[in-house]
């Protein structure tokens, strides 16, 4: 049986869908077994239905109840990886400790820039950043502060509006997230407890698009 991934999403779910596609085309050696969402109107649910993936909506208020329901699902699914893809809730330290180094998140900025905000793209536009991007990191007890796994950068033109920046960042996310998930499931990327940072086997993040990706391992 292929390893399982459980995805958590609150929004449109474009990252969720790309991850599903990349499991279906064999790039990611796993199956997405379940989508967990905290919003009954999340676009991700429709996408899950299209792919025949079970979607569970959990009322996250209060957080303890939401988390205990999610934990029960995870216990049943026993996923190799939990992937947060636009999930708008902060997971408690207790939750994180139960799945330590098995939870990933993606953030639409080059962390630690615009850390801890859900408006990273809007703030980047407001500040006039000229290089934006996205970050995939392990989730720990901090908000957007867990060990960084990979980042991809893209140039922002002074004329780019918020929508344009979102498009550019999303395009990067759709490449970077599957790459990292694959690397972790293949045992080529892991959290090194001794060195307290992410470790990589050689060639684990191969760049297929040098003009966009600025980082190689
Ligand atoms: C992404 O930009 C991600 O970085 C952030 O939420 C957004 C989710 O987008 N955490 P989508 O729902 O996957 O389209």
Based on the residue annotation, tell me whether 174 is a catalytic residue of this protein.
no
Contact 66, 88 (CB under 8 A): no
> pLDDT tens digits, residue range 80-132?
999 999 999 999 999 999 999 999 999 999 999 999 999 999 999 999 999 99
| pLDDT, average across residues 51-80 | 98
Tell me the whole-structure pTM to 2 decimals.
0.94
Task: Give me the residue label for tokens 């550019």.
Answer: 168
Return the C-alpha torsion angle 138, 142, 145, 147, nearest 10.
-40
Residue 174: pLDDT over 80: yes
Task: Look at the block and give the residue holding tokens 């919003």.
Answer: 39
Atom of ligand 1 nearest to the CA of 44: 12
Q: What is the distance in A from the centroid of ligand 1 to the CA of 194?
A: 31
Pairing of strands 197-200, 189-192: antiparallel
Average pLDDT of the chain is 93
What's the confidence (pLDDT) of residue 145?
Answer: 96
Distance 206 CA to ligand 1 centre (A): 23
Q: Which ligand 1 atom is the nearest neighbour of the CA of 15? A: 13
Q: Which two tokens stand for residue 11?
A: 């929004």
Query: Quick one: which atom of ligand 1 is closest to the CA of 166?
Result: 2
Average pLDDT over residues 67-72: 98
User: What torsion do the CA atoms of 115, 213, 83, 93 make, to the nearest 10 degrees?
Assistant: -30
Pocket of ligand 1 (CB under 6 A): 9, 11-16, 85-86, 106-108, 134, 173
CA distances from 2 to 5, 22, 99, 105, 120 (A): 10, 14, 19, 22, 35
Which residue among 20, 168, 170, 178 is best mutated to probe the pocket of ligand 1, counting the most ligand atoms within 8 A of its Cβ?
170
- Locate 163 and state its tokens: 């929508």
**Ligand 1 probe mutation, 39, 85, 87, most atoms within 8 A of CB:** 85
| Cα 135 to middle of ligand 1, angstroms | 11
Distance CA 41, CA 46 (A): 9
Between residues 98 and 213, which one has the greater pLDDT?
98
Going by alpha carbons, the residue nearest to atom 5 of ligand 1 is: 86
Greatest Cα-to-Cα distance within the chain, rounded to the nearest angstrom: 49
Per residue, the 3-state secondary structure of 63-127, as one string, reads HHHHHHHHHHHHHHHCCCEEEECCCCCCCCHHHHHHCCCCEEEEECCCCCCCCCCCCHHHHHHHH
CA 166 to ligand 1 center in whole angstroms: 9
Residue 203 φ/ψ region, left for φ over 0, alpha for ψ in the -120 to 50 degree band, beta for the rest: left
Please give the distance, rounded to the nearest whole angstrom, from the Cα atom of residue 173 to the centre of ligand 1. Answer: 8
The residue to mutate among 11, 37, 43, having the most atoms of ligand 1 within 8 angstroms of its beta carbon, is: 11
């Amino acid at each position: 049986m292929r390893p399982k991934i459980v995805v958590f999403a609150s929004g449109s779910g474009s990252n969720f869908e790309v991850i599903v596609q990349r499991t279906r085309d064999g790039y990611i050696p796993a199956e997405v077994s379940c989508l967990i969402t905290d919003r009954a109107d999340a676009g991700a649910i429709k996408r899950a239905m299209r792919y025949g993936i079970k979607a569970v909506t959990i009322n996250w208020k209060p957080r303890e109840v939401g988390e205990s329901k999610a934990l029960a699902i995870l216990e049943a699914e026993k996923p190799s990886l939990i992937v947060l893809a636009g999930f708008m809730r902060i997971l408690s330290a207790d939750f994180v400790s139960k799945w330590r180094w098995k939870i990933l998140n993606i953030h639409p900025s080059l962390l630690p820039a615009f850390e801890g905000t859900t408006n990273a793209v809007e703030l980047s536009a407001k500040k006039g950043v000229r290089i934006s991007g996205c970050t995939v990191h392990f989730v720990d007890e901090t908000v957007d502060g867990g060990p960084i796994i990979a980042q991809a950068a893209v140039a922002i033109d002074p004329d780019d509006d918020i929508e344009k920046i979102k498009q550019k960042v999303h395009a990067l996310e759709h490449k970077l997230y599957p790459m990292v998930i694959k690397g972790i499931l293949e045992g080529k990327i892991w959290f090194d407890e001794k060195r307290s940072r992410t470790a990589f086997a050689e060639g684990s993040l191969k760049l297929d698009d040098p003009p966009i990706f600025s980082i190689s391992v």
